[in-house]
Amino acid sequence: MSETIELNEADFDVKVLQEKRPVLIDFWSPSCGPCRLLVPTLNALATANANVAVIAKVNVITNASLAAKLGVASLPALLIFKNGQVVSRLYGVQKQSKLQELIDAYL
């Protein structure tokens, strides 16, 4: 079983911008209730897509400048990267099926 990976400002370029697979990133905060609701969904997506996509999380409290750089203004924010570029952006709690459709679109 795979789980989401934690990203920070130091490893973002290597683990996201240089990654060839799609990367779904959840920008979250420990004090955000809706963010906590997404945890099981993201873990399920990580397991289902272990070999084809990266599912990651960025804590906006400890990585505020990264969140600001990417224009994250509300939480939870879900950004999908492909070939180092943001290709999709969603806000709020999302269904697993909708997130899977987006991942599949960028495989």
Q: Provide the angle, in degrees to the nearest 10, between the axes of the packed helices 39-48 and 96-105.
A: 40
Which residue among the candidates 16, 24, 35, 79 is catalytic per the annotation?
35
Which residue among the candidates 2, 5, 29, 32 is catalytic per the annotation?
32
To the query of whether residue 35 is one of the catalytic residues in this protein, the response is: yes
The pLDDT value given to residue 3: 82
Tens-place pLDDT, residues 87-103:
999 999 999 999 999 99
Tens-place pLDDT, residues 58-81:
999 999 999 999 999 999 999 999
Structural domains of the chain, with CATH: 5-105 (3.40.30.10)
Question: What is the SS3 assignment for 100?
Answer: helix
The pLDDT value given to residue 13: 95
| CA separation for the pair 86, 24 (Å, rounded) | 10
Least confident of 1-5, 26-30, 85-89: 1-5
